[in-house]
Amino acid sequence: MSIKIGLIGAGRMGKVFAHTLAFTVSEVELLAVADVNLQASQEVAQQFGAKYAYSDYHELLGRDDIDAVVIVTPTATHAEVIQAAATAGKHIFSEKPLSQTLEACDQAMAAVEKAGVKLQLGFMRRFDPAYRMAKQRIDAGEIGLPVMFRSTSRDPKRTSLEFARRENSGGLIMDMGVHDFDLARWLMGSEVVRVQTEGGCLVYPELKEVGDIDNAMINLKFANEAVGNIDVSRNAVYGYDIRTEVLGSKGGLIIGKLQQTALLVMNQQGVTHDTVPYFMERFGEAYAAEIKDFVSCILEDRPPSVNGQDAKMATAIGIAATLSLDENRPVLLSEIA
């Protein structure tokens, strides 16, 4: 059986998913592409073998021969496009986050449930081999009861000021931290009940002009009394730095490292190695694996691995952490969820 897929969004990440759909997943056919920039839509369609290109995604959704869609539109539009796709009866894979508000999350989830379609969210770190193996070992009890979570997400450069605006991306905490919030729930097996954030513009003062920051640390308290800490940064000039540690009652796990290539250069100046350049070098395999899993859940008629509720809870933590930054106080998840 071949799943015919429409791609909504033909920007940088749209091209990443178009490549996966066209060349990596044998069970699918990339049939159509939609983007508000028709030229971009046409170029992606031509490059990756899609037959149709549109400037209005509603035209793509109106095609009876499309079974599912992959949504890679701007963050603020995800919930809206998900609702439209569900109403059209399409199975849905959407990039994170589900939405920047809990109300929009609920509306999108309600539309999906009413339509009886599948919705999977793009938390690709769950599909990275190292993170998957860590989860399996935690679930097997190898480190005992998880009691402490630490995670680092640092980009090697500042994003554009337009993207950094909260109304567009949610800001540093929501946009970058949402992956760590999802990992915290998933790896620790417990919900986050309280957060406290410290952060500011320490390197790029121009971010203040758009209401964002460049560095933050977020402390977590879990329902099972475990504790956690997440740091997010836009100025890891040495490379793309993604690492996570889980400490248990009988041991611990460290996931990720700075080194990209298994080569150490040793000379009189010391020992050096390279670092991970950016996200595709680190998570390219995971991006492909999450799409394969989405296709499998359609073919096997099983629930998606990362569902709407998972995405809603990650958004809730992000909202609470941002509120904590703004009001300079601890915030209970019960205040906003």
Mean pLDDT of the chain: 97
**68 within 8 A of 293, measured Cβ to Cβ:** no
pLDDT digits (tens, 9 = 90+) for 283-305: 999 999 999 999 999 999 999 99
Burial 4-26 (b: 16+ CB within 10 A, else e): ebbbbbbeebbbbbbbbbbeebe
Please say if the pLDDT value at position 158 is more than 80: yes
Question: Helix or strand or coil: residue 33?
Answer: strand
Rounded CA separation 42/50 (Å)? 9
Determine the Cα–Cα distance for residues 27 and 43; give it in Å rounded to an integer. Answer: 23
pTM: 0.96
Structure confidence by residue, pLDDT tens digits, 213-263: 999 999 999 999 999 999 999 999 999 999 999 999 999 999 999 999 999
For tokens 């059209």, name the residue: 88
Domains, the chain, in order of start with CATH, read: 3-123 (3.40.50.720), 126-285+314-335 (3.30.360.10)
